Amino acid sequence: MKKFNFPLNTVLNYKDQVLDNLKNEHAQIVDKVARQEKKVESLSDRRREACVQFQEEIGQGIAVSMMREYETYITFMHQKILAEQGVLHKLQKKEEQKREEVVEARKEVVSIEKLKEKKLLQYNKELQRSEELFIEEFVSNTTSVHGSR
């Protein structure tokens, strides 16, 4: 009997490549999200430190001009944090979308793999049946040849 041939092998290989590419893209986005989270955290820390330092200097007595500088810096940092959080939010949405694409691609690959397994099982059953028929014919022919002597 001929060798097992799955007609959708090229499609399966293509879908596997697409899945691998999507996984790589997803990993890159996850990395960007992590870096952006660190950036937001760093800016928040710097703003928090400036607030603490501002409060300490107020307690010790501070010039009005210096108070304005602190307020301007703290306001600037707050706006920068909001902007970076916006970037983070966009990256998180992009990551979620890419994750969904990976899940869908994985579903497609799995469904084709299950179909391949089903066809292989069917092929193996047919192969076994044909081998059993061959053995029966062989035994039958051997018996008839030896029985006629």
Residues 52-87 pLDDT 10s: 999 999 999 889 999 999 999 999 999 999 999 999
The reply to whether the predicted model has a pTM over 0.85 is no
Number of Cβ atoms within 10 Å of the Cβ of 115? 13
Tell me the DSSP string of 118-145: HHHHHHHHHHHHHHHHHHHHHHHHHHHH
pLDDT score recorded for residue 148: 56
Q: Output the six-digit token pair for 75.
A: 């306001």
Up-side HSE of residue 27: CA atoms within 13 Å toward CB? Answer: 6
Q: Please check the confidence at residue 146 and state whether its pLDDT lies above 80.
A: no
Q: Is 76 helix (H, G, I), strand (E, B) or coil?
A: helix
